[in-house]
Every structure is written in C-alpha cells, then in structure tokens.
Amino acid sequence: MNILFLSNEYPPHVYGGAGVHVNHLSSALLGLDDGRHRMEVLCFGDQEIRQDRLRVSGITGREWPGLAQQRILDPLFRNLVMTGTAAEADVVHCHTWYSYLAGCLLKQILQIPLVVTTHSLEPHRPWKKEQLGNGYYASMWLERTAMQNADGIIAVSGAMRNDVQALYGIAPERVRVIYNGIDIRRYRPTENPATLDAYGIDPARPYVLFVGRLTRQKGIIHLVNALPYLREGTQVVLCAGAPDTEAIAKEMRDRVAAARQAFSGSIIWVSDRVPETDLVVLYSQAALFVCPSVYEPFGIINLEAMACHTPVVAAAVGGIPEVVEHGETGLLVPFAPVGSDDPEPREPMRYSRDLADAINELMAAPEKRRQMGLAARQRVEAHFSWERIAQQTLQFYEDLQLP
C-alpha cells in the first residue's frame, strides 16, 4: 500500500502531540511488514528525507505580502503546494486542519479514500481566535468540510468520537477509536542527577512536574494559581514555553511572579524547549506529573509520564479518563466547563484548589505514589504501544479499500 500522510508537523519541527503522533505512527506503519508498504509524508518546513520506503518533503512558505494579511493564508498556500507535490497513493491521511484542504483536493484528484485523524476540534478551542483572528472561522469551515468528505475518521479517544458525532452528525460506522501511543523503549524510568542539576532542581526534594505549551488549552494558569495552596516547601518544575500569544506569555509571567510571593516552596520555570532525553529524566525523577488541561482529546503527555513510572494528577476532561485510571495510576480532578463557547471552569479558583488538594494528597503519600507509578507503566505497556496503534490503523485503511 502507498500511504500518503499530510501534516503541518514532522521532525524536527514538532511542537505538539500531533507531531509526535505523525512521527511515531509513520515509523510504526513501515515496521509492520516485510517491505510491502511505502510512506510519503508532506509537511510544513524544510525537511527532505529519501529512504528506501519513506519519502518526506517539507513545504516552505512564500514571501508574498498578501499571505501576511491573514495568518491562515500561509497554511492554505502550502496546502495547494502539497496537492501539486503528492505522488500516487492508495490512501491519503490528514492530521489537523492545517492539511485538510489538500486532503479534500487529493481525495478527488487521485480518487482515493480520505482518512482524517481528529487530534482536536476547532469549535472546542475558541482561544484559537487569539492566534488566527477571523481565520479561525475558516479553520472551522475546513474542519467541517473534511469531516463531511472523509471516508474514515480516526478519533483518538471515545470522548473525541462522541464530540465528532455531536458536532458534525457523522455516521457511527465512519468513525473508529484508535488511541495515541508511546515509544515504551524510549520513555522508561531513567535517572541522571546531572540533568536535575542542569535545571536547578534539588534532587533531595520531591518535585511536581508540568510539561506543555504555553496555551490556554493546557490550563497552565490554573496550575500556577494552585501553587500557593500546596504543601509547605513543595518544589515545582514548570516546563512551559512556545506561547500562543504575547498576551498569555505576559499573563504567565505576572501569575508566576505573584505565586512566588505567596508560595513557600520553589518554582522553577523552564521556558526554553527541553530535549526529549532530558524530559525522560525529568518525568522519571518527578514525584508526580500534573496535567491541568481545560481541553484534551487524548493527552500523549500523560502516557509519557506514566511510562516513566510517574503517577498523574489530571483534569477529568476529554480522553484523559481513558488514559489515567483514577485511584490506580493517578488522580482525576473534576472539571465543569461552561460550554464550547467558553471552555473554562465555572469556578476557576475552585478548580485550582481542587488541583492543589489532589497534588497535596499524593505528595503526602510516597508509597501510594510508588504503587501508582508501577501500575501506570503496566497500563502503558498493555494498551498504548505504537505497534498496536499501527496495526489498528492499517486495518482501518484495508477496511476502506474493500468494495
């Protein structure tokens, strides 16, 4: 089978879970057979890879004044270039709205099935208007069009499947739940005191870890607001960079400064990108990982922590309850959004206090954390390997090929 992946992210230009997904799934699909399948990846960037059965082509932008008038125009330009670049394929598989225009065009031009993986849904991310302006309405239109034209839709969680059907009226047989995965060989318990020292972390004190982009979706502000309510002397490490906008960057700076005044423990904020090898160490040596997201269709980040024997405190939103087992591999914190137009807690400070209570509960129980960490690794190994996800994805392709 000739498989065509379309994505805005592919290494080395990866900033979120979709890029991690595309990287590992493409490799896992090629590793399933004895050389029968070929993969072409068209992505945003300057990548150029030519291997035996893998071809990766980065699509660069264009310096043209008209493209700068709306932020959404550059992705659409690259989609047109993707459409003209794609070779023959048996299936086209899109990841995120950034590639949906090209996917819809190639479905028609090449007369092949279109598969869409829903890593998130635009109507549930109204804060994206801060980035795209009125282009946000165009991205929602692109998403709706792709969902209506796709032959098959992969939902990364049961919660995402329900959202797709509710928003777009998609027939159940067109949607299949296939979870995200994790490289369990790369993400495993790893100790390196020198890494902690490099980031200014006191190895003698247990620490709470956050890793994620500086975006409203990840709920980082709610976690920062929770810090003054943590146990005295708690050490907190926030790996939070790549802000969506300058507004949220300023808000983060102001909230962290206020938290430092009211918090008896220490706050280490790492705003630069952390290499994966360092992240594995930070996960492994953390007392617990916190995922305060206000919207999370799946949450690969929780798998990364769990694979490193680290329990998780997370918001009970989206697909997270399908990953983190409450009381077994971590604790889930109740979260009540107002609605899709304003996905924030009804009582933001109540949510922050609940996060603090859950963190304090586990920080006071080291043996419970140890048991949860062991159970977390076992759960990841049993359900979330990339080989398993690749097998399910290939079966979906083959099902769509049937007359």
pLDDT at site 346: 63
Nearest Cα to Cα of residue 154 among 122, 121, 117, 120: 117
Given a contact cutoff of 8 angstroms between Cβ atoms, the answer to whether 328 and 372 are in contact is yes
Segments making up each domain of the chain, as ranges: 2-181+385-401, 193-383
**What is 2-181+385-401's CATH number?**
3.40.50.2000
Q: Mean pLDDT score of the chain, rounded to an integer?
A: 92
Tokens at 344, concatenated: 């924030």
SS3 track for 118-146: ECCCHHHCHHHHHHHCCHHHHHHHHHHHH
Q: How far is CA 220 from the centre of its chain?
A: 15
pLDDT digits (tens, 9 = 90+) for 185-234: 999 999 999 999 999 999 999 999 999 989 888 999 999 999 999 999 99
**Same-fold call for 2-181+385-401 versus 193-383:** yes
| pTM for this predicted structure | 0.83
- pLDDT for 78-137, tens place per residue? 999 999 999 889 999 999 999 999 999 999 999 999 999 999 898 888 878 887 888 899
Give ∠ CA 155-242-363 in degrees, rounded to 5. 75
- Separation CA 341–CA 183 (nearest Å): 35
Query: Beta strand 48-50 with 54-59: parallel, antiparallel or unpaired?
Result: antiparallel
298: left (phi over 0), alpha (psi -120 to 50) or beta: alpha
pLDDT on residue 242: 85
Choices 3.40.50.2000, 3.30.413.10, 2.40.50.140, 1.10.10.60: CATH for 193-383: 3.40.50.2000
Residue 271: closest CA among 290, 250, 286, 291: 250
Please report the pLDDT score of residue 338 as a whole number.
44
Give 340's pLDDT tier (boundaries 50, 70, 90).
Answer: very low
What contacts 374, CB < 8 A, 6 or more positions away? 309
